Amino acid sequence: MVDGKSPYQGATYEVGNEYEAKINTNIYQQCGCGINVASLNWCYYDAKGKSGKITFFECEVVVNSPDDVIIPLATDGKFRVKKIKVLREIGIKEAEKMLSNGKEKK
């Protein structure tokens, strides 16, 4: 998040809330509608160089059917899902500490 909004869709998320979106199930498209998520490592390096307050969200993916999670072929690390629950916000310093330890907290 940059200044509290997704840098891609401009969506605003809040800890404790669930979000659902129509999802593009085409595995041949890298980007598509749905809630786009990725590892902390991917998000951190994608955010580098952006101005504003950078934060990340740890989310739980809610899966009710196989079509609720779409991992595109040859993905660069991101994928899309139908529904998430936002568990907590992670600041840039905490993210750097987690990544410098060589692992992401679960």
Q: What is the pLDDT of residues 19-60, one digit of tens each?
A: 999 999 999 998 889 999 999 999 999 888 777 788 899 999
pLDDT for residue 103 is more than 60: no
Whether residue 80 is predicted with pLDDT greater than 60 in this model: the reply is yes
Alpha-carbon gap, residue 76 to 31, rounded angstroms: 11
H/E stretch holding 61 reads: strand 55-61
Residue 104 pLDDT greater than 70, yes or no: no
Q: Give the pLDDT band of residue 69 (cuts 50, 70, 90).
A: very high
The model's confidence at residue 5, banded by pLDDT at 50, 70 and 90, is low
**34-67: burial string, b at 16+ Cβ within 10 Å, e else:** bbbbbebeebbeebeeeeeebbbbebeeeeeeee
Question: Over 60: is that where the pLDDT of 77 sits?
Answer: yes
**Residue 7: what pLDDT?**
62
**Mean pLDDT to the nearest integer, 58-68:** 94
DSSP 5: B
